[in-house]
Structure 1
């Protein structure tokens, strides 16, 4: 009888980076990790560019998973959607001025994904599902290092006070300063979970 190889799940293997507790601010060390990314600007609730970017990321990630399983015999669980958010004036985040936001949406990829596997996956996606996926999606390593993170449960628009607390109280109290882009990890599917129950990790890289 063949032994079934368990799926590698980044949320299970790195619980320190993909779990948290409401009201607790953790300091974590984030190693360099590889992601599929898609960049854009504007309100994610109304931007067609945002919707297409997320569609391209998911389609490519599942195609990568299938290609890795077929070619390498290695199986992984597709990671959650994540996002880097930035703007010339960071106050637009606490003010929820979404039209001023820039973003890089992303999905984690395991170390065994090669450029050849990605190329095959993108070819499949561009010919079957998302014609411009090859133009939208990039494969890159992202390094954050030391970061402060906490879990938010609730609507995305209710994040403002927690972000203000993180930046104005928690980070300065630890003798640190923000560095790099604000990072969010979406642990819930907003299509299936009501806004009041959405779980989102809020992370800010810092220098100490």
Structure 2
């Protein structure tokens, strides 16, 4: 929960379920299915205790928010420089608790396959990901208004003597704290996070 004033953060290793895809998230069927996969698997793990097969180390928790990494072919995307959303490449993901392992993930896939056989579960993957040093800021309002917030984030990075490190390996990152289906556009809260490194 960062503030609207940018700050640095060292992001440690965390567990995620991820789904990769392409296209405009507002219109893409691929994106819609990715979210169905992510939430279906995340809630299968959370509710595993109800079936008496809770993983070792299980504890009560709230399913974390949806997150997204965004980029485009051949052009690092900084949240500003691409207007045609159909060109987006993305990884949608939801963080998982520490007790979730590859085995727990595979068990969740098997459970979800029984309930929703139409889903292509091969698209989902389990990953342990360490994002490293980043700068982040809270954006409040519509997604299309993000460039002004990103400009503030870029100024902070430069003033800190750091360099934005968006590349093929490190992407523009958004964490969606609000559900756009329920919240008015002006009430949306989105964490914007950019990878950084020390200047040369």
Question: What TM-score bracket applies, with the shorter chain setting the length?
Answer: 0.7 to 0.9
Q: CA deviation at 1:130?
A: 5.3
What is the aligned partner in structure 2 of residue 116 from structure 1?
103
Q: What is the RMSD computed on CA atoms of the aligned residues? A: 1.7
CA distance in 1, matches of 2:46, 2:78: 36
1:116 is displaced (CA, Å) by: 2.5
Structure with the higher strand share, 1 or 2: 2
User: Is it true that 1:39 corresponds to 2:25 in the alignment?
Assistant: no
Count the aligned residue pairs: 188
1:166 to 142, 153, 160: 153
1 CA distance for matches of 2:151 and 2:115? 43
- The answer to whether structure 1 residue 84 and structure 2 residue 74 are counterparts is no
Alignment match of 2:2 (pick from 16, 20, 26): 20
Cα distance in 1 for partners of 2:20, 2:101 equals 22
2:135 to 133, 138, 148: 148
Q: Tell me the residue number matched to 1:8.
A: none
Distance 2:182 2:34 in 1: 20
Give 3-state SS (helix, strand or coil) of 1:144's partner. Answer: strand
Q: Answer yes or no: is the 8 Å Cα contact 1:30–1:143 preserved in 2.
A: yes
1:44 Cα deviation after fit: 0.5
Comparing 62-71 and 147-156, the one that deviates more: 62-71
> For the residues of structure 2 that align with 1:157 and 1:130, how far apart are their CA atoms?
35
Are residues 164 and 99 of structure 1, via their aligned partners in 2, closer, same or farther at CA, if it must alter by over 3 Å?
A: farther
Provide the TM-score with structure 1 as the length reference: 0.84
How far apart are 1:149 and its partner, in Å? 0.3
Question: 1:197 aligns to what?
Answer: 187
CA distance in 2, matches of 1:92, 1:183: 9
User: Contact between 2:139 and 2:192, CA under 8 Å: does it hold in 1?
Assistant: yes
- Contact map agreement 1:67 1:120 (CA 8 A) in 2: no
Is contact 2:77–2:171 with CA below 8 Å preserved after alignment? no
In the TM superposition, what is the alpha-carbon distance from 1:173 to its structure 2 partner? 1.8
Task: Give me the whole-angstrom Cα distance separating, in 1, the residues matched to 2:141 and 2:23.
Answer: 22
Where structure 2 has 5 or more consecutive residues not aligned to the other structure, the ranges are: none
SS at match of 2:79: helix
TM-score, reference length from structure 2: 0.87
Shift of 1:91: 5.5
Q: Any unmatched runs of 5+ in structure 1?
A: 1-18
